[in-house]
Structure 1
């Protein structure tokens, strides 16, 4: 089976071969190539030691950031490519990191330590596709399966629990029985994983096609790091999840909308300030009345996130939301450049200040002007607004 390898990757393999080392593309790139999915990056594995790689790539710009684990990053045609020395199985500490790193000259040994069969496929032009553990068959049957003993693989690295869910959700695969049993049984090991790592995997899970299935079958695992997501909350959210786009923030808002301590949960899971703003704004405005263009403009004047994000969220959670009407109102507001924010006013704070007002009065007057032009956009002129201010003085 032939897989197309980009030239900027092939030149690195060729250079290692010229220096009498073996090298392969390994992992996600091969998996995605066989599935016909986009390939975002290519990882290489080789029997060259880190020092030997540094010598072979001495003419390249490279980074040694992972060299203690056998990994260097080489810039090839401007693209960063991680190249790692074959490693062998070892003992793990804290259910996440190997106690020591042992290099190997055996590609099968290197593949054996990986997480799932579908991620242990490797390829180069001279040897073709190499599959030691049945990864091709598992791809064909849409199965996520740990390599070797599932309990041992999960015990080594508990993050594999969430990786299994993410791959199953993203690819719409089934988690094989022994692997599923292991991740249910050892779910409490997630307490050893940092909140940042959990956050990254969880966001990936939220953006998968099969999220509803993951939430249904593996709710006990998710409850390890979000115990507030009780079974009934998940079940009540499924219909909305199925109506939502593959957007992690929108889906998190759907799951948390009926939970009182949503902000606390987001902070615990190390959500960024920007992510929290989107999620909490959606939740806070879940029932905002929007039945006219004026109400929409009043809402837009206070909304602190993109309207399209809110629109998608509201469409998913509210069967009575007049999606098409609201979208038409929004398009009309945008096309006609109708004012709905203070910055859209024909006057500003300096204008009001010149009329003799100071401090908080300036803000109050500008807000009053905005309310007036939201109802009657044609009145958004300097002359009209100054006269309005003088009349109410």
Structure 2
């Protein structure tokens, strides 16, 4: 286990002033698993003001003083530094009513959610593991620190976090923790939709997402009753949020999917993409370039690509690469003529301009006419004469 040089420097700066400091939580877990942590958190025996004084000359920002947290930027790296603390009273089943500060690392670790997240590491003193987290990592087990029911009553979001870790790490859930999780699942109704969304989005990207969704379906139905309908197997889908969401809701209608996603406060673009994937999930498609161009016209390149990946259409995906590489026309903005060209040709201003441009685009998409200005104007001129004849 090795901390980056900037992390070692941070710990030494704090300890030079007489305080104790450790890397804690997820970064320690990831280092033990042989993974590179995405970020590093530190716990310190100093109070926030003492931390700032000890780091004089280092940029430090007040990011969570109520919970004893400041963020320091060391050699370009941001690190959260939190005072050893105790917590009590969780009237909203999410956040502690009272936070107290302590000089004891073991007290701080005892308030954490799961044993694998309740370890600390020091570059010289090594690993501090009061609750058997290292052994649980070895056995690929998720277990609450202390009494599971208490942990979930303190913060109901831990129920979903537990399932997210199971999905991401491919860890089984220890039986007492599992029973408590199922017993208190209704507490998830007290959690803000945005928080549920964040955890759920991470959960469905895990290798065990399908297994977790199936085994713990009653938990998900608390906030997502649609999850009980038939869904695509997630294991074969790329680990991308929109594709996995489409897999989760593949047994729903587009309207049902939209309502579920809106309830969890997903953004409009995500909702539109996921419902489009559902709408086109079983629409028959040819496998030629014309079909690919029409999909880009209808959906845009990004959504068309997501649809074809969702449906596993490798031939059409290859055609999308050709279209992208050659810059083939798939929209009015790419057409070699515009409204001003048609007006100069003699078209009267009005709706007829748009109608003619769309007819030209359809011919280009059908590949019965090349996207060349001279050819397009010639065709438009022939329509103008025909339209005049029909009007007479």
Q: TM-score, normalised by structure 2?
A: 0.93
C-alpha change, 1:76 and 1:377, in structure 2 (3 Å) is farther
Give me the whole-angstrom Cα distance separating, in 1, the residues matched to 2:325 and 2:195: 43
1:60 aligns to what SS in structure 2? coil
- Corresponding position of 1:328: 318
2:81 aligns to what SS in structure 1? strand
Give me the whole-angstrom Cα distance separating, in 1, the residues matched to 2:320 and 2:99: 57
Deviation at 1:263, TM superposition (A): 1.0
Q: 1:376 aligns with which of 352, 367, 371?
A: 367
Q: 1:313 aligns with which of 306, 310, 314?
A: 310
1:266-285 Cα distance to aligned partner (Å, 9 max, x none): 11100011211221221122
Moved more, 197-206 or 297-306: 297-306
- Corresponding position of 2:389: none
Matches within 5 A, 1:1-393: 3-230=1-228, 233=229, 236-239=230-233, 241-260=234-253, 261-291=256-286, 292-304=288-300, 305-315=302-312, 323-355=313-345, 356-376=347-367, 379-393=370-384
1:133-165 Cα distance to aligned partner (Å, 9 max, x none): 000000000000000000000000000001000
1:84 aligns to what SS in structure 2? strand
CA contact (8 A) 2:70 2:82 kept: yes
Moved more, 115-124 or 91-100: 91-100
The aligned length equals: 379
Give me the whole-angstrom Cα distance separating, in 1, the residues matched to 2:247 and 2:318: 24
CA contact (8 A) 1:289 1:295 kept: no
2:227 aligns to what SS in structure 1? coil
Deviation at 1:37, TM superposition (A): 1.5
CA contact (8 A) 2:232 2:247 kept: no
CA contact (8 A) 1:167 1:173 kept: yes
Q: Unpaired segments of 5 or more residues in structure 1? A: 316-322
C-alpha change, 1:55 and 1:257, in structure 2 (3 Å) is same
C-alpha change, 1:300 and 1:238, in structure 2 (3 Å) is closer
1:216-270 Cα distance to aligned partner (Å, 9 max, x none): 110001111111222xx2xx4253x122111121111122233232111111100
CA RMSD of aligned residues (A): 1.5
Moved more, 372-381 or 10-19: 372-381
